[in-house]
């Protein structure tokens, strides 16, 4: 069975016109993910995420500035779950193969 990672983090908006929203993973989780996660492309790691009652497959983005990974929160998920910029959310995810 795959390890379930759990986070509680603040949602923030990427600067610019696109409106991307992310949470930054804690550094200690990022170290674990780097050890066991299958990376592709520019270091992305495929994950299956659950926030509230919503589950989807996405990728963690490596983020040099935080020395961690970013988890994007899609617009349809934010609407469905009532998530806004600066909200703190609980999320869980497993690494996909």
CA–CA dist 87, 39 (Å, integer): 29
- Cβ neighbours, 10 Å, residue 51: 23
Question: What is the predicted pLDDT for the residue at 37?
Answer: 64
**26-53 pLDDT, tens digit each:** 998 888 887 776 776 778 899 999 999 9
**48-91 pLDDT, tens digit each:** 999 999 999 999 999 999 999 999 999 999 999 999 999 999 99
On the question of pLDDT at 21 being above 70, the answer is: yes
On the question of pLDDT at 6 being above 90, the answer is: yes
CA-nearest of 62, 68, 57, 67 to 7 is: 68
On the question of pLDDT at 1 being above 90, the answer is: no
Question: What is the predicted pLDDT for the residue at 34?
Answer: 77
Domain boundaries, the chain: 5-95
| Sequence-distant (≥ 6) Cβ neighbours of residue 94 within 8 angstroms | 2, 3, 4, 5, 47, 48
Assign domain 5-95 one CATH number from 3.40.50.20, 2.40.30.100, 3.30.70.1560, 3.90.1570.30: 2.40.30.100
Q: Which residues pair with 62 in a beta bridge?
A: 69
CA–CA dist 82, 78 (Å, integer): 6
């Amino acid at each position: 069975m795959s390890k379930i990672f759990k986070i509680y983090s603040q949602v923030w908006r990427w600067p610019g016109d696109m409106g991307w929203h992310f949470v930054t993973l804690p550094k200690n989780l990022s170290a674990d993910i780097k050890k066991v996660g299958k990376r592709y492309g520019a270091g992305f790691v495929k994950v299956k995420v659950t926030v509230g009652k919503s589950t989807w497959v996405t990728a963690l983005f490596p983020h040099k500035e935080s020395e961690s990974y970013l988890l994007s929160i899609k617009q349809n998920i934010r609407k469905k779950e009532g998530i806004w910029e600066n909200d703190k959310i609980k999320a869980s995810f497993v690494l996909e193969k």
